Amino acid sequence: MLAPWIALQMAPDQYWVALVAGLLAIFGHSFTCLAGFRGGKGVLTAFGVFCTLNTNAALLSFATWITLTFVSGYVSLGSIGGCLVLAALLLAGFFNLPYIGWIANSQGPVHWSLLATGIAVAVFVIVKHISNIKRLLNGTENGFRKKAPKDGQK
């Protein structure tokens, strides 16, 4: 949350600076130089960034993450779903769609740059989850309720 918030404080009329700061925070946590340019998948950092940039969309995507994670038992599925909901809410806010567009517009109109950033982050997170998606499809993804069977076991 701090990177875009500090950028907004330093350059309040330059919204793009906050977007760049948010993207750099997400990429920095995903490709940490202190860990050999390996890191997380950027989900929690993206949540923090979008809490600053568009709070309602971020909170609804977090609610989606909680719901999908606890219903399915897979954190990766919740993360993917949460990112898709974030992008969909920003898209709805950009086009000001009835009933759901107002949710993302609560902090003002969704600018095309915020929409592009949200879609880019959603794509980035989903690409980082490709190995999880393959394991989900194969039934070998570890959930928090039980461990997936190893190859050859049922």
Higher pLDDT, 104 or 10: 10
From the centroid of its chain, how far is CA 127?
A: 12
pLDDT of residue 106: 73
Per-residue pLDDT, averaged over 80-84, amounts to: 97
Phi and psi at residue 38, in whole multiples of 5°?
-115, 155
From the centroid of its chain, how far is CA 116?
A: 13
pLDDT tens digit sequence for 46-66? 999 999 999 999 999 999 999
pLDDT of residue 152: 54
Three-state DSSP class for 11?
Answer: coil
pLDDT tens digit sequence for 127-143? 999 999 999 999 899 88
Rounded to whole angstroms, what are the CA distances from 30 to 26, 46, 69, 81, 87?
6, 10, 21, 19, 19
> Could you count the other beta carbons within 10 Å of the beta carbon of residue 64?
21
Per-residue pLDDT, averaged over 85-103, amounts to: 87
> Could you count the other beta carbons within 10 Å of the beta carbon of residue 133?
15
Percent of the chain topping pLDDT 70 = 94
Helix-helix angle 75-95:130-138, to 10 degrees: 120
Q: What share of the chain is helix, strand, coil (3-state, %, to 5)?
A: 70, 0, 25
The tokens of 22 are what?
Answer: 């948010």
* Cα separation of the two ends of the chain: 43
